[in-house]
Amino acid sequence: MKFFVDTANIDDIKELNEYGFLDGVTTNPSLIAKSGRDFKEVIAEICALVPGPVSAEVAAMTFEGMVSEGEYLARIADNVVIKLPMTLDGLKTCRHLVRKGIKTNVTLCFSANQALLAAKAGATYVSPFIGRLDDTNIDGMDLIRDMREIYDNYAFQTEILAASIRSANHVKEAAIAGADVATIPPAVIKGLANHVLTDKGLEQFAKDWAATGQSIL
């Protein structure tokens, strides 16, 4: 499963990129707002740091507005992916951009039928929001499983990008359910390496090694 980081924080992206974890980045207006920086500058800087896909979201709600913004954002860098809302105008824009060779990410997906429409529109990625479904007492992983079965039934090329990931367990379950990608907050990505038994084991190894009085170098 590919890992995208869900952030617009340049320092977090640099750190995770150095570990070799990152396959791409997703941003949204809320994340850009938190950075306090110019939207287009942030996208350009992220694209220069990470060679993989970088999702940049349109702000317009109409077909004409989304087309204009999407085509403009796509010119920032070759690895920009245009993030579009799961609406009829968003799907129409998706089809338009795909025909022009521009990659797309249809976001705010909450049902298998929406995911089916996104695939038929030719979306590069579709983003089911796992955590937000869980908030309404609906198991978000059921949606991932339904999408996987539908996409495999018809050999759709659209990739399932699990979003609204809130925990290490979400990452594991999305991987088991067959998501192609997970977009994950920085803290959750780093937390995947943690386990109490690993910490205890290292503590014991360090104590045993110190008792030998030896040095490797």
At 141-195, the pLDDT tens digits run 999 999 999 999 999 999 999 999 999 999 999 999 999 999 999 999 999 999 9
Range of the domain at 55: 2-212
CA 36 to CA 71: how far, in whole Å?
24
Element (H, E) at 92: helix 88-99
20 found inside a domain: yes
What pTM was computed for the model? 0.94
Domain CATH number, residue 128? 3.20.20.70
- Asked if 84 contacts 117 with a C-beta cutoff of 8 angstroms, the reply is no
Arithmetic mean of pLDDT, 67-94? 98
The verdict on whether 120 is a catalytic residue reads no
Domain total in the chain: 1
Element (H, E) at 87: none
134 found inside a domain: yes
48 found inside a domain: yes
217 found inside a domain: no
What is the model's pLDDT at position 34? 81
CA 138 to CA 143: how far, in whole Å?
9
The one catalytic residue in 83, 120, 172, 190 is: 83
75 found inside a domain: yes
